[in-house]
Amino acid sequence: MLRRFEGTTNPYEAERTAKACLIVPNTLADQERPVRLIEQALTCSEKEWGYPWFLLSRGMAECRAGRPQSAIEWIHKGRQKIKDAPPVYEALGSLFLALAYHQLKEGNKARAALATATRLLDENLPKADSGDLGSSWLDGVFCRVVRREVEGLVSEAIPAPRE
């Protein structure tokens, strides 16, 4: 997929290809390849309906490339550009914020971001066995995969604060 679409000029093909490479950690030896694809997507007009999604994906790419502070900034830029964000957008952003805060060893912020994502997913996404996964089913699947990763990292590697 990456080889096929790496040279695309279509911003949606570029972003979706990059995002597919970012859901599972360590899928690529060169983590800059998705960054370059998303840079290509971001050359479109800011008025493009997908632009906030492209910003979120850039944050995801920065996180996977080991630049957590930059990831946080890109995710927040995306949130500023989208009005009435669907829960799956907010949840995916929160999951990657949790990963970024985990990389920065900011346990309380990582747990808070994970809690936000968990609430959004549990309250708004259709259940996997419901037979109707909704119109945002692909991003819902992405959220479920990343959620498992984040729950394992945040709950195991960062001890809870003492009471």
Residue 31 lies in a domain: yes
Predicted TM-score of the model (pTM): 0.89
pLDDT at 135: 67
Mean pLDDT by 10 residues, the chain (163 residues): 90 94 88 93 94 97 97 97 91 97 96 95 78 72 93 70 49
pLDDT at 163: 46
pLDDT at 138: 80
Distance CA 15, CA 5 (A): 10
What residue type is 86 in one-letter code? P
Number of domains in the chain: 2
Residue 46 lies in a domain: yes
Residue 150 lies in a domain: yes
Supply the range of the domain harboring residue 49: 1-66
pLDDT at 88: 92
